[in-house]
Structure 1
Amino acid sequence: MRFFTNHVSVAKGILLLAFAAVAPFVDLNNPITHWAWVLFVLLSVGIFSLEVLDFKQKKIPPEDNVRMYLLDFDGWKRSGDVDYYVADPRFTIRELQDSTSLDFQQEWTRGEIGSHYDHGNAAFYLGVYFGDTLLRKIHVVLFDGGKKIVVAPAWESIGNGRIYYYVADSIEYAYQRFLCRERGVDFSKSISGPGRSDSFDIPVFRDASELKKYLSQYGGEPVNSTSDRDEQNRLFSENLEKFRCFKEGWIV
């Protein structure tokens, strides 16, 4: 289906050429079962169906197409500093300039950054555009001395700490998967934990409903959120364990 929605104009052109080639052979004196009539009807139905599909595609808001296009990993090309979607070059991705104050030292990065805060670790915004319209700003983080790159996960308060996460059907997670395909590795997995020897994967919720269910069990405004980094790291580790338990179907 994605191939047809991305190349509907080409498909219509092919069918119209075939229609033009068959039309001279259509004769009112021939029975309806004649090959020319059969092809004439089939091509007419095909052209009509593509027109309907094209109309529906054009009615879809650009924001709703972004995720689908990002998951079409091989459909993107790069020109200079801009990625563009080949089937519809109006969709582009490029770095934004308003990125100077973005955080890259949250709990989930601390085990990778260590003491090298100023050596290759950084954060910036990528803008997803439709023409000149900015559809989405995506917060991207470089860590482990700039060797690793991920989309910064969203977060919610859990007790006095935070849970960092992706939502699987979001544009942000689609771009995270785009980065995985581009780099050949998923840097959101097997991240070194802050102040501990083991590693973790950034939690992924199936959709907003699953996130809401999780937060109904664990979430809420922090009673007295801590600014102590060691305590933040400890609470972060506890919240990762709560997520694991949630996925396995029980509550701690």
Structure 2
Amino acid sequence: MWNTIWLFFHKLASPKHFYRISGKLVPWLGGITLIFMLAGLYLGLFVAPPDYQQGQSYRIMFVHVPSAWMSMFIYTFMAVLSAIHLIWNIKLADVMVRGSAALGASFTFLALVTGSLWGKPMWGAWWVWDARLTSELILLFLYLGYIALVSAIEEPRSAARAGGVLILVGVVNIPIIHYSVEWWNTLHQGPTVTKFDKPSIHPSMLWPLLLMALAFQFYYFTVALMRARAEVLDRERRSAWAQDVVEGA
């Protein structure tokens, strides 16, 4: 069993096999994304009742909260991949990091924008220098800094190493974002879903929130694999298998 699993991951590290396997996964992941997205939006917009305090405006959380979760998940995933690339020099790890950066920045930006839209009626201001908001803004700068850094360095290996180091240094910001509402006195509400005892959110609101979180996660893997496939094909364009793919397209 373990030999089979090891063989699978060994093949997955090969650009040729990665391109083939990911090509089969992308349509399935895209279909699952669509199903979860439609179900989450329907339950969140039409089935979930209005909040007794926030009324209809709370529904933006079905986009805001999953976006914030994804901004941290993607960065953490990029940090793991960066460590794998720096330690074992697996090039596909760097490919996935590059394919994830723009998506992570997009989710972070979406979280900040929807948070501002949510904060205006709740706090009376579009932006406050709250610990959670400020650390999330720093996360956006880390994403953009990584994109700018690897774009500025022409030599691919040097760019991958420099970008990986930046990602690993910046990962310290992830626990700061997560625990900011507990470490400091902030306007941002505390955890409601990830509480150990019981989520303080009604199931009619919790289920569409979780469905949207799953939809966003499957969307990320769908698009990240598509971007990684394009990157792999570009890097391997001189190999025989890549030329066969291009000629057969």
TM range (shorter): under 0.3
Please identify the structure whose Cα radius of gyration is greater. 1
Task: Compare relative contact order (CA 8 Å, sep 6+) and give the higher one, 1 or 2.
Answer: 2
Question: Which structure: greater strand fraction?
Answer: 1
TM-score under structure 2 length normalisation: 0.21
TM-score under structure 1 length normalisation: 0.21
Question: Which structure: greater helix fraction?
Answer: 2
